[in-house]
Structure 1
Amino acid sequence: MRRIPALGAAFFIALGLFAPQSQAAPVGTTAPAGVSAGGQAGSTPRSIPVPKSPDARNNTPYELSSQDYGKQSTVPAPPVAAPLKTGKQFSAAAGEDPCTGQYDVINATGSALVQKLKALPYVDCTYPLFNLRGENAAKTFTEAKMATVADALRDASATYPGDNSTSVGQLVLFLRAGYYVHEVDQASVGTYGPTLETATHAALDAFFAAPHSKDVTDANGATLQEAVTVIGQIKGLGRYQGVLKWILASYDGSWTPQMDKSFKHFNWIIEDGLDPKTVDNQGWKAALKADSSILDTWSDFITRNEDLLNRSDMVSNEGRYLGYALAVPELKAKVRPILKDLINRYPNVGPTAAITMNLAWATRKFDKNNCAAYAICDLNDRLMPVILPIQHTCNANLKIRAQDMSAAQLASTCTSLVNQDAYFHKVIGDKGAIPGDVNTNLEVVAFDDYYNYSLYAWSFYNIDVDNGGMYEEGNPALPGNQARFIAHEADWLRPTFHIWNLNHEYTHYLDGRYNMAGDFDSNIVTPTIWWVEGIAENISFGYRNLRNTEAINEAAKKTYKLSELFDTVYEEDGDPDVNSTRVYKWGWLAVRYMLQEHRADVEAVLTKYRAGDWNGARTILKQTIGTRYDAGFDAWLTACASNSCGPLPEAPVAPAIPVCTIADPRQFDKNCRRDNLAATTGNYSYHFLNVPAGVQKLTITTTGGTGNADLYYGGGNWATTGNALAKSTNAGNNETLTIDNPPSGWVYFSLAAGQQDFSGVSATVQYQ
């Protein structure tokens, strides 16, 4: 997209690079343009994220605040359980199925319900209650029956022994199942009112007041974790903040596995309770305002258990939510010194980076432009040279900054991108860069894996990291603008080396430079995503000679008409997976079809895109084409699903320009070419021609050969890198200059070998 979404810690700790800020000497590297140190955001170009790999999404060892902030927090579904049987499915012979009492629970009421429920074997015969839907759900989880069970839990809690010998667990699980089914099938269950709320509060009050509810044993933990989850279901965190305070004050690494789960279940509640985008639906913010001492307990929990800090540990995972308290204005004065201490207490790399960087992220998110309060204004200066120490130049137009890449990996990445440039122009053609586009240089930033990308990229580059990378085009008309693709290695593919989405994103760079006028914001004033993502997918798969199996499988479904795909935007359809399928897989199909079957229409649209005439392109797509190609696209999809959709066609090759016949090898005439031009690094291949009066457009192009030749035009003077009226300095040898209304008489141009030798280059001059 066009800002389109490991090093050994012990070594650096020994050097003192990540000691508390008062002790650490700044390394001296400035933050990237547009980003203040410590992640305090300046004005930056818009970013649209790259899709995250399913592997990265599912296998991340530690879920970062910066990637999960803003998600809807819901109480999790129960463990997978066998479907609940109906009465007709049970054997008539008593005792053949230990769960026959499930059917009785559906129909029983009052004290009989409590008796039948407590008689169910725990957990095997209670968890299936979560699967009830429709009529059975309506009969089982009425407000009256839920209140009956809550009252029974209240009474039983007085003598709760810390295990399930009195069947308290079945009562808690019934309440949890009822609230869960009510959430997913409220149409069947109906509404819950104040009667149930009062009864559930009384039940939980009694349970958490029972002395044995605090037993640090697996027997108690099995029931405690479910009771904690009910707190979230009834939005009761504020009422039961004392329970969390007890857990924070008591927890240490000796807790049993079931008690650990009780602690983990609070994570599902705390984030929702502090979400600044919602009302205080948990009463949590109000509770913190009334008793902010829990913040000290929270901080003490981290420092007391600092030996457990190790990326994915529970202390890091729970501690990150402390930063969310900054979102409550009344708590800022209390929270700032707490976060300052924690962020600067532990190293920002290695096992403790998960807690320090997440809390630093919270300062940027909720206390923007106030890095001084946390003594982290120089955080980027200290971190970037260590996290991204490798700086490699492929050529004048392409460089790599990496966390951990070998010399061979750097070389192969450079080769891949340089060769892809040539492939792109074979498919698209070569009409030169967009006039005024100065994005001649791309920086590829490669973190070692998705974890490190998530942990640091937000700070270094002021981007969101709930994605698979970001391409930042910036303002291509601004001198000194740095186009940048921020990415990570696909660690799940190792030992194979691969930078995730590299070829896709490099196509965005090329597409933005040669096809799309202006910056990304201007590109999307009308729907252009069908082309932007479709061509990126086609070039990426085509260049690597890979079959786009997922897109081809989509073809058989015929989900969209071509005319509908011209309307594709990034955020639609509600479901992000559905939207991703439309954007990328169907974008690939739409562009593939148009290039194969209607190349002239593609060229007409691209002519408008290159001129920044977005409305003109839209008119071609929606009026000139409209629905005329829908039937053809439908037929093409049928064939595509069975034959891999055919090859990606190359651009038509223009008739060969004749070789110049003038004896002087430096001189050109009208519409001719010279081949096998060469120069060594630092030198030039000088040329000139005599332009007659009345010429409206002079075009000079270079192609082919090896090395890197840059093209300079000097008008009536010899052209050099320091004396030129126009220049084209792409990677490789594909350069184009178009001079409108050139002066009559002798004009001069040159091919410069600024960074490396070049040879075998062809230059062509045309004018009209």
Structure 2
Amino acid sequence: LEGDPSQPGNIPNFIAYEASYASADHFVWNLEHEYVHYLDGRFDLYGGFSHPTEKIVWWSEGIAEYVAQENDNQAALETILDGSTYTLSEIFETTYDGFDVDRIYRWGYLAVRFMFENHKDDVNQMLVETRQGNWSNYKATITQWANLYQSEFEQWQQALVSNGAPNAVITANNKGKVGESITFSSENSTDPNGKIVSVLWDFGDGSTSTQTKPTHQYGSEGEYSVSLSVTDSEGLTATATHSVVISTLGGNDTLPQDCAVQSKVSGGRLTAGEPVCWANQQTIWLSVPAVNESSNLAITTGNGTGNLKLEYSNSGWPDDTNRHGWSDNIGNGECITLSNQSNYWGYVKVSGDFENAAIVVDFDVQKCRQ
């Protein structure tokens, strides 16, 4: 129905039929193998169906099968295993005479897949000739391939049917907070011979998922071992593991996490860059010297349990009317960043109901610790 795409004003047409006997989820065959024929004829092969003067069946049927089935063509692999093999020179001479299904479709597919995987630049050069209708050049090109690549083609076939196990790869953060959604991905997992057809996640807390890219929330702190099992189209499996450390809301791995057993302060001075643990009391007052000698400073709190509020002033002890920065998130994770302080002393107030939390002041930084 294409007509002659080399003619100006040619109008392309494509017709697909709906199979009334097919179930509701039945795919349209014409939009797979057959539609590739349409695109190939329109963009890769000069003129109409009868225009080529050399044999192109291997390419026409092979590219349609390869695009439609990609690396999942078990019927083609079985023709290698049962010994009904063809050489490249034989495949390139394929016609529709006798309608040898294996030779036309299976080995056309294998030849096209081999060339795309191992010699794609050669394929691109061949298409330069077929798009211009230079059939003698096309013939010379594929004849050269048959001479150069036959041994490699045979080795490639054996590697194809010597099925290797898939490679499971987990992509995810290794830290998180209680109740926080963490995304896990298996999308970087690979299989050397086919494709991965199923995945199974075990998040280490009794929960599982079969999604490729699930999200998960942990209900309590701790270190969890996450496992991913992938299965390929040949039934082989592989497993990967990944550790995730979950802390309570407000948790911070850059601050002390063992304040319950460390010495604590209930007030006094803070030294820049030195984290300290707090005593368990409702309000703590702390001072920071030389804040005006730093262009930027950041105050970070975290870990422990409870819910604290952090306030700062550069002109006396902070309260609701005298503060230059404050942070009041849920939990103990608070952050205040400041710049260009005028006075030598900075003053910090910590209030709320909390236990075993920690604090640090950092100079000449533009963000809090994470």
TM band (smaller chain): 0.3 to 0.5
More helix by share: 1
The TM-score, its normalising length taken from structure 1, stands at 0.21
